[in-house]
Structure 1
Amino acid sequence: MSRAPFELPLTARAFLTRPDTATFTTLRPDGTPHVTPVRFTLDASDGLVRVTTRAGACKARNVAAGGPAARVALCQADGFRWVTLEGRAAVTDDPERLAEAVRRYTVRYRTAPPAPQDLVVVEIAVDRVLSLNL
C-alpha cells in the first residue's frame, strides 16, 4: 500500500495516542455510509492507520468491495476536540502485517485485540487530516 506523508501537529498526535475509540466510516456498495466504533493504531511517521477486524465484518467487506480506490474516514472525538484521518484503505490477512497491527494494538490498549479465526487488518494510507481545537 502506498503511503502518503501527512502533517500532524504534536497536540493532535498526542490526542490520537490516547487509548480511546474512534468512529470508522466506510462506504457500502450502494454508496451509503457505514459508521462503526473501532479501536485503532496510528503510525504517524509512516502515514498509516491500522484497524483490526474480522474479514466478514461489514467494514472489511466495504473496503474490499471498494478496491484500490476505497476511501475511508476515521474520527476520534472528545467533546469539541476531534481529529479526522482520511485516506485510501485496503484489507489484508498478510501474517507479518497482521502481527504488526496486533503488536501496536496491544501496546496502545494494553490488551490484545480479539482474535477470531478470520482476523484481518484494514490499513489506511492517510492523505488528509482535519481537526478542531487541537
Structure 2
Amino acid sequence: MNAPAAALSPRVAAFLAEPYVATLTTLRPDGSPHVVAVRFTWDAAAGLARVLTVATTRKARNLLARPGGRAALCQVDGYRWVTLEGSAMVSDDPPRVAEAVRRYTERYFSPPPAPPGRVVLEIAVHRLTQLNI
C-alpha cells in the first residue's frame, strides 16, 4: 500500500512541497547503487513521487531492467531530510507524463525541459524516513 497523505505530518508535507532537489537512488543491473540529483514531485494523495527524465538515462534503464524495482528519493536541506522509498516504474504514457509536467511546473515555477523520449519515473512510496522535520 502506498504511504497515505494522512501519515505525513504537516511539517513533512510542507518540507516536501519546498522546491528542493533530491538524490534518486536506483540499482544498476549488477546491483550497485546509481545515485543522481533530480527534481521531483510528491503526490501525497496518490502516494507517488514522480521524476521526469529520458528513457535512455541510466536511472530509467535501471528501472526498465527490473520492473517494479525499488528506488529511493532523499530531499535534504542542511540537517533536515526526508527519504521516500518504494517500487518504481517507467512510463511514457502521455497522460502520466503530462501530469508529471503539470506538477513539476507548479512546484518549480517553470516548465521542465522537453527532450525527445521523455518519460516519467513513478515511485509508489511504501516507506518514509525523516530527520529534524
TM-score bracket, normalised by the shorter chain, equals over 0.9
Instruction: Say which SS state the counterpart of residue 86 (structure 1) adopts.
Output: strand
State the Cα distance separating 1:45 from its structure 2 match. Answer: 1.2
In the alignment, the residues of structure 2 paired with residue 111 and residue 62 of structure 1 have an alpha-carbon distance, to the nearest angstrom, of 28
State the Cα distance separating 1:19 from its structure 2 match. Answer: 0.7
Point out where structure 1 has 5 or more consecutive residues left out of the alignment. Answer: none
Instruction: Say which SS state the counterpart of residue 14 (structure 1) adopts.
Output: helix
Match of 2:50 in 1: 50
In the alignment, the residues of structure 1 paired with residue 102 and residue 67 of structure 2 have an alpha-carbon distance, to the nearest angstrom, of 26
Aligned-residue identity in percent: 59
Match of 2:113 in 1: 114
Give 4+ residue runs of structure 1 displaced > 4 Å after superposition: none
Point out where structure 2 has 5 or more consecutive residues left out of the alignment. Answer: none
Q: Give the 5 Å matches for 1:2-81.
A: 4-6=2-4, 7-68=7-68, 70-81=69-80
Instruction: Say which SS state the counterpart of residue 67 (structure 1) adopts.
Output: coil
TM-score (norm 1): 0.95
TM-score (norm 2): 0.96
In the alignment, the residues of structure 1 paired with residue 109 and residue 3 of structure 2 have an alpha-carbon distance, to the nearest angstrom, of 28
The reply to whether residue 126 of structure 1 matches residue 125 of structure 2 is yes
Match of 1:101 in 2: 100
In the alignment, the residues of structure 2 paired with residue 13 and residue 100 of structure 1 have an alpha-carbon distance, to the nearest angstrom, of 19
Instruction: Say which SS state the counterpart of residue 114 (structure 1) adopts.
Output: coil
For these two proteins, the number of residue pairs brought into alignment is: 131
**Residue type at the aligned position of 2:84:** L
**Residue type at the aligned position of 1:103:** R
In the alignment, the residues of structure 2 paired with residue 133 and residue 48 of structure 1 have an alpha-carbon distance, to the nearest angstrom, of 23
